[in-house]
Chains A and B, each alone.
Chain A
Amino acid sequence: MNFWEYLRSRQELLVFETWQHASMVFQCVVAALLLGVAVGVLVYRSPRLSGFATGTAGAVFTIPSLALLGLLITPLGLGVAPSVVALTLYSLLPIVRNTIVGLNGVDRTLVDAARGIGMGRGRILLRVELPLAWPVILTGARVATQLAMGIGAIAAYVSGPGLGEQIFSGLGRLGGANSVNMTLAGTLGVIVLALLFDGCFLVIGRLTTPRGIRA
Protein backbone atom coordinates (compact mmCIF):
# COMPACT_ATOMS: atom_id res chain seq x y z
CA MET A 1 0.00 0.00 0.00
CA ASN A 2 1.52 3.32 -0.91
CA PHE A 3 1.05 6.48 1.11
CA TRP A 4 -1.93 7.80 -0.85
CA GLU A 5 -3.73 4.50 -0.69
CA TYR A 6 -3.10 4.43 3.03
CA LEU A 7 -4.50 7.92 3.48
CA ARG A 8 -7.60 7.01 1.53
CA SER A 9 -8.22 3.73 3.33
CA ARG A 10 -7.92 5.35 6.79
CA GLN A 11 -9.55 8.61 5.83
CA GLU A 12 -12.14 8.63 8.59
CA LEU A 13 -9.75 7.75 11.39
CA LEU A 14 -7.18 10.26 10.17
CA VAL A 15 -9.70 13.07 9.92
CA PHE A 16 -10.94 12.23 13.41
CA GLU A 17 -7.42 12.21 14.90
CA THR A 18 -6.49 15.42 13.14
CA TRP A 19 -9.63 17.06 14.49
CA GLN A 20 -8.85 15.79 18.00
CA HIS A 21 -5.30 17.10 17.77
CA ALA A 22 -6.41 20.53 16.57
CA SER A 23 -9.14 20.79 19.16
CA MET A 24 -6.83 19.75 22.01
CA VAL A 25 -4.17 22.28 21.02
CA PHE A 26 -6.75 25.02 20.52
CA GLN A 27 -8.39 24.49 23.91
CA CYS A 28 -5.10 24.28 25.75
CA VAL A 29 -3.76 27.45 24.15
CA VAL A 30 -6.99 29.32 24.91
CA ALA A 31 -6.82 28.15 28.53
CA ALA A 32 -3.15 29.16 28.69
CA LEU A 33 -3.98 32.52 27.12
CA LEU A 34 -6.62 33.30 29.77
CA LEU A 35 -4.41 32.09 32.62
CA GLY A 36 -1.23 33.61 31.24
CA VAL A 37 -2.69 37.07 30.61
CA ALA A 38 -4.25 37.00 34.10
CA VAL A 39 -0.88 36.14 35.65
CA GLY A 40 0.87 38.73 33.50
CA VAL A 41 -1.59 41.46 34.51
CA LEU A 42 -1.18 40.56 38.19
CA VAL A 43 2.62 40.67 38.24
CA TYR A 44 3.77 43.07 35.50
CA ARG A 45 4.13 46.12 37.72
CA SER A 46 6.51 44.44 40.16
CA PRO A 47 9.91 43.47 38.72
CA ARG A 48 10.31 40.94 41.55
CA LEU A 49 7.01 39.16 40.89
CA SER A 50 7.58 39.34 37.12
CA GLY A 51 10.97 37.72 37.56
CA PHE A 52 9.46 35.03 39.75
CA ALA A 53 6.62 34.30 37.30
CA THR A 54 8.85 34.09 34.22
CA GLY A 55 11.47 32.14 36.20
CA THR A 56 8.96 29.53 37.35
CA ALA A 57 7.41 29.23 33.90
CA GLY A 58 10.93 28.97 32.45
CA ALA A 59 11.80 26.10 34.81
CA VAL A 60 8.65 24.21 33.78
CA PHE A 61 9.53 24.95 30.17
CA THR A 62 13.01 23.46 30.60
CA ILE A 63 11.59 20.15 31.83
CA PRO A 64 11.36 17.79 28.84
CA SER A 65 7.81 16.92 27.80
CA LEU A 66 8.17 13.18 28.32
CA ALA A 67 9.25 13.78 31.93
CA LEU A 68 6.41 16.18 32.66
CA LEU A 69 3.84 13.85 31.08
CA GLY A 70 5.24 10.97 33.12
CA LEU A 71 5.10 12.96 36.34
CA LEU A 72 1.46 13.80 35.64
CA ILE A 73 0.48 10.13 35.18
CA THR A 74 0.77 9.49 38.93
CA PRO A 75 -1.82 12.05 40.06
CA LEU A 76 -3.97 12.21 36.91
CA GLY A 77 -3.81 8.74 35.39
CA LEU A 78 -3.56 8.07 31.65
CA GLY A 79 -5.57 9.75 28.92
CA VAL A 80 -6.76 13.25 28.21
CA ALA A 81 -6.12 14.80 31.63
CA PRO A 82 -2.28 14.65 31.77
CA SER A 83 -2.04 15.67 28.09
CA VAL A 84 -4.20 18.74 28.55
CA VAL A 85 -2.46 19.82 31.76
CA ALA A 86 1.00 19.39 30.23
CA LEU A 87 0.09 21.25 27.05
CA THR A 88 -1.42 24.13 29.00
CA LEU A 89 1.62 24.36 31.28
CA TYR A 90 4.03 24.48 28.34
CA SER A 91 1.90 27.08 26.57
CA LEU A 92 2.01 29.34 29.61
CA LEU A 93 5.66 30.39 29.39
CA PRO A 94 5.62 32.26 26.06
CA ILE A 95 2.27 33.84 26.91
CA VAL A 96 3.19 34.98 30.44
CA ARG A 97 6.55 36.30 29.27
CA ASN A 98 5.10 38.17 26.31
CA THR A 99 2.23 39.60 28.38
CA ILE A 100 4.73 41.05 30.85
CA VAL A 101 7.01 42.34 28.10
CA GLY A 102 4.08 43.75 26.16
CA LEU A 103 2.50 45.52 29.12
CA ASN A 104 5.82 46.96 30.23
CA GLY A 105 6.48 48.14 26.69
CA VAL A 106 3.44 50.40 26.69
CA ASP A 107 4.53 54.03 26.50
CA ARG A 108 4.16 55.55 30.01
CA THR A 109 3.09 58.88 28.58
CA LEU A 110 0.03 57.20 27.06
CA VAL A 111 -0.93 55.78 30.45
CA ASP A 112 -0.45 59.23 31.99
CA ALA A 113 -2.61 60.75 29.28
CA ALA A 114 -5.33 58.18 29.97
CA ARG A 115 -5.17 58.99 33.67
CA GLY A 116 -5.26 62.67 32.80
CA ILE A 117 -8.58 62.34 31.00
CA GLY A 118 -9.98 60.63 34.08
CA MET A 119 -9.70 56.91 33.37
CA GLY A 120 -9.46 54.56 36.34
CA ARG A 121 -6.87 51.77 36.72
CA GLY A 122 -9.18 49.06 35.36
CA ARG A 123 -10.21 51.07 32.33
CA ILE A 124 -6.62 52.07 31.57
CA LEU A 125 -5.69 48.38 31.62
CA LEU A 126 -8.59 47.29 29.41
CA ARG A 127 -8.75 50.21 27.00
CA VAL A 128 -5.13 51.35 26.75
CA GLU A 129 -2.54 48.90 28.02
CA LEU A 130 -3.94 45.53 26.92
CA PRO A 131 -4.87 46.69 23.39
CA LEU A 132 -1.40 48.15 22.91
CA ALA A 133 0.29 45.02 24.29
CA TRP A 134 -2.00 42.71 22.30
CA PRO A 135 0.27 42.09 19.26
CA VAL A 136 3.07 40.97 21.59
CA ILE A 137 0.70 38.75 23.59
CA LEU A 138 -0.63 37.24 20.38
CA THR A 139 2.92 36.43 19.27
CA GLY A 140 3.34 34.57 22.55
CA ALA A 141 0.18 32.58 21.84
CA ARG A 142 1.48 31.80 18.37
CA VAL A 143 4.74 30.41 19.74
CA ALA A 144 2.75 28.47 22.33
CA THR A 145 0.59 26.93 19.61
CA GLN A 146 3.57 25.73 17.58
CA LEU A 147 5.02 24.20 20.73
CA ALA A 148 1.77 22.54 21.78
CA MET A 149 1.42 20.96 18.32
CA GLY A 150 4.67 19.03 18.70
CA ILE A 151 4.22 18.15 22.37
CA GLY A 152 0.65 17.07 21.63
CA ALA A 153 2.10 14.30 19.48
CA ILE A 154 4.12 12.94 22.41
CA ALA A 155 0.95 13.02 24.54
CA ALA A 156 -0.22 9.90 22.70
CA TYR A 157 2.30 8.03 24.85
CA VAL A 158 0.13 8.67 27.90
CA SER A 159 -2.92 7.69 25.80
CA GLY A 160 -3.68 11.29 24.95
CA PRO A 161 -5.80 12.07 21.88
CA GLY A 162 -4.58 13.18 18.49
CA LEU A 163 -2.18 12.43 15.65
CA GLY A 164 0.52 11.09 17.95
CA GLU A 165 -1.44 7.86 17.91
CA GLN A 166 -0.46 7.33 14.27
CA ILE A 167 3.20 7.86 15.10
CA PHE A 168 3.17 5.46 18.04
CA SER A 169 1.21 2.85 16.03
CA GLY A 170 3.87 3.11 13.36
CA LEU A 171 6.56 2.59 16.00
CA GLY A 172 4.69 -0.38 17.44
CA ARG A 173 4.52 -2.00 14.03
CA LEU A 174 8.18 -1.32 13.26
CA GLY A 175 9.16 -3.17 10.09
CA GLY A 176 5.60 -4.29 9.47
CA ALA A 177 3.22 -3.23 6.76
CA ASN A 178 2.13 0.43 6.93
CA SER A 179 4.55 1.42 9.68
CA VAL A 180 6.16 4.05 7.45
CA ASN A 181 2.75 5.21 6.22
CA MET A 182 1.40 5.62 9.74
CA THR A 183 4.39 7.54 11.03
CA LEU A 184 4.47 9.70 7.94
CA ALA A 185 0.74 10.43 8.14
CA GLY A 186 1.05 11.45 11.81
CA THR A 187 4.13 13.61 11.27
CA LEU A 188 2.88 15.35 8.13
CA GLY A 189 -0.52 15.83 9.73
CA VAL A 190 1.03 17.73 12.62
CA ILE A 191 3.12 19.87 10.24
CA VAL A 192 0.07 20.75 8.14
CA LEU A 193 -1.97 21.60 11.24
CA ALA A 194 0.86 23.74 12.60
CA LEU A 195 1.06 25.70 9.34
CA LEU A 196 -2.73 26.13 9.22
CA PHE A 197 -2.82 27.44 12.78
CA ASP A 198 0.06 29.77 12.02
CA GLY A 199 -1.90 31.15 9.07
CA CYS A 200 -4.92 31.65 11.34
CA PHE A 201 -2.75 33.65 13.72
CA LEU A 202 -1.73 35.98 10.92
CA VAL A 203 -5.41 36.60 10.12
CA ILE A 204 -6.40 36.99 13.79
CA GLY A 205 -3.50 39.39 14.22
CA ARG A 206 -4.73 41.53 11.32
CA LEU A 207 -8.29 41.56 12.57
CA THR A 208 -7.68 42.16 16.28
CA THR A 209 -4.79 44.61 16.26
CA PRO A 210 -6.13 48.08 17.16
CA ARG A 211 -6.27 50.30 14.11
CA GLY A 212 -3.98 52.93 15.58
CA ILE A 213 -0.96 50.62 15.86
CA ARG A 214 -1.51 48.55 12.73
CA ALA A 215 1.56 48.52 10.55
Chain B
Amino acid sequence: MTAPPLGDTEDAAAGTGTQDALHAPAGRSWRALLQPLLIVVAGLGWMLYVENEHLDSIEKRVLAPRYVAQKTWEHIELALASTAIVLVIAIPLGIALSRPRVRRATPLVLGVANIGQSAPAIGVVVLLAVIWGIGFWTAIVALVAYGMLPALRNTMVGLQQVDPTLTDAGRGIGMSAPAVLGRVELPLAAPVILAGIRTTLVLMVGTASIASFISGGGLGDLVTTGVTTQRTPVLLTGCVLIALLALLIDWLGGVATRLLAPKGL
Protein backbone atom coordinates (compact mmCIF):
# COMPACT_ATOMS: atom_id res chain seq x y z
CA MET B 1 0.00 0.00 0.00
CA THR B 2 2.78 2.42 0.76
CA ALA B 3 5.28 1.28 -1.81
CA PRO B 4 7.74 4.12 -2.19
CA PRO B 5 9.94 3.87 -5.25
CA LEU B 6 12.56 1.68 -3.70
CA GLY B 7 13.70 0.27 -7.02
CA ASP B 8 15.94 2.43 -9.15
CA THR B 9 16.18 5.68 -7.22
CA GLU B 10 17.02 4.05 -3.90
CA ASP B 11 19.51 1.73 -5.53
CA ALA B 12 21.41 4.61 -7.04
CA ALA B 13 21.32 6.55 -3.79
CA ALA B 14 22.17 3.62 -1.56
CA GLY B 15 24.83 2.10 -3.80
CA THR B 16 27.68 4.52 -3.94
CA GLY B 17 27.98 8.18 -3.19
CA THR B 18 29.74 8.86 -6.42
CA GLN B 19 26.83 7.63 -8.46
CA ASP B 20 24.85 10.58 -7.17
CA ALA B 21 27.39 12.97 -8.59
CA LEU B 22 27.47 11.18 -11.94
CA HIS B 23 23.79 11.73 -12.54
CA ALA B 24 23.06 15.28 -13.59
CA PRO B 25 21.00 16.95 -10.86
CA ALA B 26 18.44 18.11 -13.43
CA GLY B 27 17.86 14.56 -14.58
CA ARG B 28 17.32 13.35 -11.05
CA SER B 29 15.06 16.08 -9.77
CA TRP B 30 11.77 14.66 -11.05
CA ARG B 31 12.65 11.20 -9.84
CA ALA B 32 13.47 12.52 -6.40
CA LEU B 33 9.97 13.97 -6.30
CA LEU B 34 8.40 10.65 -7.27
CA GLN B 35 8.39 9.29 -3.73
CA PRO B 36 6.59 12.19 -2.00
CA LEU B 37 4.19 12.40 -4.94
CA LEU B 38 3.35 8.71 -4.58
CA ILE B 39 2.84 9.15 -0.85
CA VAL B 40 0.50 12.11 -1.31
CA VAL B 41 -1.39 10.35 -4.11
CA ALA B 42 -1.73 7.23 -1.95
CA GLY B 43 -3.11 9.32 0.92
CA LEU B 44 -5.61 11.19 -1.25
CA GLY B 45 -6.55 7.97 -3.03
CA TRP B 46 -7.22 6.26 0.27
CA MET B 47 -9.39 9.14 1.47
CA LEU B 48 -11.37 9.14 -1.80
CA TYR B 49 -11.86 5.39 -1.52
CA VAL B 50 -13.00 5.54 2.10
CA GLU B 51 -15.34 8.49 1.58
CA ASN B 52 -17.08 6.59 -1.22
CA GLU B 53 -17.55 3.46 0.90
CA HIS B 54 -20.86 2.93 2.58
CA LEU B 55 -20.27 4.55 5.98
CA ASP B 56 -22.53 4.55 9.04
CA SER B 57 -23.10 7.67 11.11
CA ILE B 58 -20.14 7.17 13.47
CA GLU B 59 -17.78 6.54 10.59
CA LYS B 60 -19.14 9.53 8.67
CA ARG B 61 -18.49 11.83 11.59
CA VAL B 62 -14.95 10.64 12.31
CA LEU B 63 -13.94 10.35 8.67
CA ALA B 64 -15.23 13.77 7.61
CA PRO B 65 -12.40 15.30 5.55
CA ARG B 66 -12.32 18.31 7.82
CA TYR B 67 -11.87 16.21 10.97
CA VAL B 68 -9.20 14.04 9.35
CA ALA B 69 -7.34 17.12 8.15
CA GLN B 70 -7.49 18.60 11.65
CA LYS B 71 -6.11 15.39 13.19
CA THR B 72 -3.34 15.26 10.59
CA TRP B 73 -2.40 18.83 11.37
CA GLU B 74 -2.39 18.10 15.12
CA HIS B 75 -0.09 15.18 14.45
CA ILE B 76 2.31 17.33 12.44
CA GLU B 77 2.20 19.99 15.18
CA LEU B 78 3.02 17.47 17.88
CA ALA B 79 5.91 16.02 15.88
CA LEU B 80 7.41 19.34 14.77
CA ALA B 81 7.06 21.11 18.12
CA SER B 82 8.63 18.24 20.04
CA THR B 83 11.42 17.83 17.50
CA ALA B 84 12.21 21.55 17.66
CA ILE B 85 12.33 21.54 21.46
CA VAL B 86 14.46 18.38 21.49
CA LEU B 87 16.98 19.89 19.09
CA VAL B 88 17.16 23.25 20.85
CA ILE B 89 18.08 21.43 24.07
CA ALA B 90 20.01 18.41 22.82
CA ILE B 91 22.41 19.99 20.33
CA PRO B 92 23.87 22.72 22.60
CA LEU B 93 23.92 20.26 25.51
CA GLY B 94 25.69 17.68 23.37
CA ILE B 95 28.25 20.27 22.30
CA ALA B 96 28.79 21.42 25.89
CA LEU B 97 29.21 17.85 27.10
CA SER B 98 31.86 17.08 24.51
CA ARG B 99 34.15 20.04 25.34
CA PRO B 100 37.64 18.91 26.39
CA ARG B 101 37.15 19.98 29.99
CA VAL B 102 34.19 17.64 30.56
CA ARG B 103 35.07 15.11 27.92
CA ARG B 104 35.95 12.50 30.51
CA ALA B 105 32.28 12.42 31.46
CA THR B 106 31.26 11.50 27.90
CA PRO B 107 31.19 7.70 28.37
CA LEU B 108 29.17 8.19 31.54
CA VAL B 109 26.58 10.38 29.78
CA LEU B 110 26.42 7.97 26.84
CA GLY B 111 25.94 5.07 29.25
CA VAL B 112 23.06 6.82 31.01
CA ALA B 113 21.62 7.74 27.61
CA ASN B 114 21.78 4.09 26.54
CA ILE B 115 19.95 2.92 29.63
CA GLY B 116 17.34 5.66 29.27
CA GLN B 117 16.81 4.72 25.65
CA SER B 118 15.62 1.28 26.64
CA ALA B 119 12.61 2.87 28.35
CA PRO B 120 9.53 2.00 26.28
CA ALA B 121 7.89 5.01 24.60
CA ILE B 122 4.45 4.06 25.82
CA GLY B 123 5.76 3.79 29.38
CA VAL B 124 7.27 7.29 29.30
CA VAL B 125 4.10 8.79 27.79
CA VAL B 126 1.68 7.11 30.20
CA LEU B 127 3.87 7.71 33.24
CA LEU B 128 3.90 11.44 32.59
CA ALA B 129 0.13 11.44 32.07
CA VAL B 130 -0.45 9.51 35.29
CA ILE B 131 1.67 11.99 37.21
CA TRP B 132 0.75 15.27 35.48
CA GLY B 133 -2.62 14.65 33.89
CA ILE B 134 -3.53 14.28 30.25
CA GLY B 135 -3.48 16.76 27.36
CA PHE B 136 -1.49 18.31 24.54
CA TRP B 137 1.28 19.77 26.68
CA THR B 138 1.86 16.62 28.68
CA ALA B 139 2.13 14.85 25.35
CA ILE B 140 4.74 17.38 24.20
CA VAL B 141 6.74 16.96 27.41
CA ALA B 142 6.57 13.17 27.07
CA LEU B 143 7.68 13.29 23.45
CA VAL B 144 10.56 15.62 24.33
CA ALA B 145 11.62 13.37 27.21
CA TYR B 146 11.55 10.37 24.95
CA GLY B 147 13.37 11.97 22.01
CA MET B 148 16.02 13.77 24.03
CA LEU B 149 18.44 10.91 24.67
CA PRO B 150 18.85 9.67 21.08
CA ALA B 151 19.38 13.24 19.84
CA LEU B 152 21.89 14.01 22.59
CA ARG B 153 23.67 10.76 21.89
CA ASN B 154 23.89 11.51 18.19
CA THR B 155 25.35 14.97 18.71
CA MET B 156 27.98 13.62 21.07
CA VAL B 157 28.87 10.65 18.90
CA GLY B 158 29.09 12.96 15.88
CA LEU B 159 31.56 15.25 17.65
CA GLN B 160 33.45 12.32 19.12
CA GLN B 161 34.24 10.78 15.75
CA VAL B 162 35.91 13.94 14.43
CA ASP B 163 39.57 13.11 13.81
CA PRO B 164 41.51 14.64 16.74
CA THR B 165 44.46 15.40 14.46
CA LEU B 166 42.20 17.85 12.59
CA THR B 167 41.23 19.73 15.74
CA ASP B 168 44.90 19.74 16.72
CA ALA B 169 45.75 21.14 13.31
CA GLY B 170 43.12 23.83 13.83
CA ARG B 171 44.70 24.73 17.14
CA GLY B 172 48.13 24.63 15.55
CA ILE B 173 47.33 27.27 12.96
CA GLY B 174 46.21 29.56 15.76
CA MET B 175 42.42 29.06 15.85
CA SER B 176 40.69 29.77 19.15
CA ALA B 177 38.61 27.03 20.78
CA PRO B 178 35.29 28.46 19.55
CA ALA B 179 36.74 28.80 16.05
CA VAL B 180 37.85 25.16 16.06
CA LEU B 181 34.37 24.18 17.18
CA GLY B 182 32.59 26.31 14.59
CA ARG B 183 34.87 25.80 11.60
CA VAL B 184 36.30 22.31 12.12
CA GLU B 185 34.34 20.16 14.55
CA LEU B 186 30.74 21.13 13.76
CA PRO B 187 31.08 20.96 9.96
CA LEU B 188 32.75 17.55 10.23
CA ALA B 189 30.15 16.30 12.69
CA ALA B 190 27.29 17.74 10.64
CA PRO B 191 26.39 14.58 8.67
CA VAL B 192 25.94 12.56 11.86
CA ILE B 193 24.06 15.34 13.64
CA LEU B 194 21.80 15.91 10.61
CA ALA B 195 21.08 12.20 10.33
CA GLY B 196 20.14 12.38 14.00
CA ILE B 197 17.65 15.18 13.28
CA ARG B 198 15.98 13.02 10.65
CA THR B 199 15.81 10.09 13.06
CA THR B 200 14.32 12.33 15.73
CA LEU B 201 11.64 13.59 13.33
CA VAL B 202 10.58 10.07 12.36
CA LEU B 203 10.70 8.93 15.98
CA MET B 204 8.49 11.84 17.01
CA VAL B 205 5.92 11.13 14.27
CA GLY B 206 5.71 7.57 15.58
CA THR B 207 5.58 8.51 19.24
CA ALA B 208 3.03 11.24 18.53
CA SER B 209 0.61 8.52 17.45
CA ILE B 210 0.85 7.17 20.99
CA ALA B 211 0.03 10.64 22.34
CA SER B 212 -3.64 10.05 21.57
CA PHE B 213 -3.73 7.61 24.49
CA ILE B 214 -3.24 10.61 26.78
CA SER B 215 -5.53 12.97 24.82
CA GLY B 216 -2.68 14.63 23.01
CA GLY B 217 -4.60 14.62 19.73
CA GLY B 218 -3.20 13.57 16.37
CA LEU B 219 -3.99 10.74 14.01
CA GLY B 220 -3.72 8.18 16.80
CA ASP B 221 -7.24 9.36 17.73
CA LEU B 222 -8.55 7.69 14.59
CA VAL B 223 -6.81 4.44 15.56
CA THR B 224 -8.18 4.42 19.11
CA THR B 225 -11.67 5.44 17.95
CA GLY B 226 -11.55 2.70 15.34
CA VAL B 227 -10.59 0.09 17.90
CA THR B 228 -13.01 1.13 20.66
CA THR B 229 -16.01 1.52 18.33
CA GLN B 230 -14.95 -1.49 16.23
CA ARG B 231 -15.06 0.50 13.00
CA THR B 232 -12.46 -0.96 10.65
CA PRO B 233 -12.51 1.89 8.09
CA VAL B 234 -11.70 4.40 10.83
CA LEU B 235 -8.90 2.22 12.22
CA LEU B 236 -7.42 1.63 8.79
CA THR B 237 -7.59 5.31 7.81
CA GLY B 238 -5.71 6.24 10.98
CA CYS B 239 -3.04 3.62 10.38
CA VAL B 240 -2.62 4.37 6.68
CA LEU B 241 -2.34 8.11 7.26
CA ILE B 242 0.15 7.73 10.13
CA ALA B 243 2.29 5.40 8.01
CA LEU B 244 2.19 7.75 5.01
CA LEU B 245 2.96 10.77 7.17
CA ALA B 246 5.98 8.99 8.65
CA LEU B 247 7.27 8.07 5.19
CA LEU B 248 6.73 11.64 3.97
CA ILE B 249 8.51 13.18 6.96
CA ASP B 250 11.36 10.70 6.52
CA TRP B 251 11.70 11.83 2.90
CA LEU B 252 11.66 15.49 3.96
CA GLY B 253 14.31 14.73 6.56
CA GLY B 254 16.42 13.06 3.87
CA VAL B 255 16.14 16.10 1.60
CA ALA B 256 17.02 18.45 4.44
CA THR B 257 20.03 16.30 5.33
CA ARG B 258 21.30 16.53 1.77
CA LEU B 259 20.68 20.27 1.45
CA LEU B 260 22.22 21.21 4.79
CA ALA B 261 25.28 18.97 4.58
CA PRO B 262 28.44 21.01 4.23
CA LYS B 263 30.09 20.84 0.81
CA GLY B 264 33.24 18.80 0.42
CA LEU B 265 32.28 15.85 2.58
Contacts and interface: CB of A to CB of B under 8 A. Distances in A.
Interface string B178-222: 000000000000000000000000100111011001100000100
B118 A146 contact: yes
Interface size range of chain A in the complex:
35 or more
A34 B12 CA distance: 28
Interface residues of B, number: 47
Nearest to A155: B122
A64 B243 contact: yes
A54 interface: yes
A109 interface: no
B236 A174 contact: no
Given A52-B6, A180-B131, A64 B236 contact: no
A2 interface: no
Interface stretch (A5-13, A114-122, A164-172): A164-172
B83 to A, nearest CB: 14
A194 interface: yes
A180 to B, nearest CB: 5
B11 A186 contact: no
Interface in A49-80: 50-52, 54-56, 59, 62-68, 70-71, 73-74
Contact of B120 (A55, A62, A70, A167): A167
Q: Among A56, A66, A167, A179, find the residue whose CB has the most chain B CB atoms closer than 10 A.
A: A66
Nearest to A180: B130
Interface string A70-96: 110110000000000000000000000
B226 A153 contact: no
Looking at chain A's contact residues, the main secondary structure is helix
Contact of B223 (A67, A167, A195): A67
Contact of A71 (B122, B213, B239, B246): B239
Given A66-B223, A150-B120, A191-B119, A167 B247 contact: no
Interface in B105-150: 115, 117-124, 126-127, 129-131, 134
B236 A70 contact: yes
B121 A52 contact: no
Given A59-B4, A71-B236, A180-B131, A170 B126 contact: yes
15 contacts: A52-B6, A64-B206, A67-B242, A67-B243, A70-B226, A73-B235, A150-B118, A150-B119, A153-B121, A164-B122, A168-B122, A170-B126, A171-B126, A180-B127, A187-B120
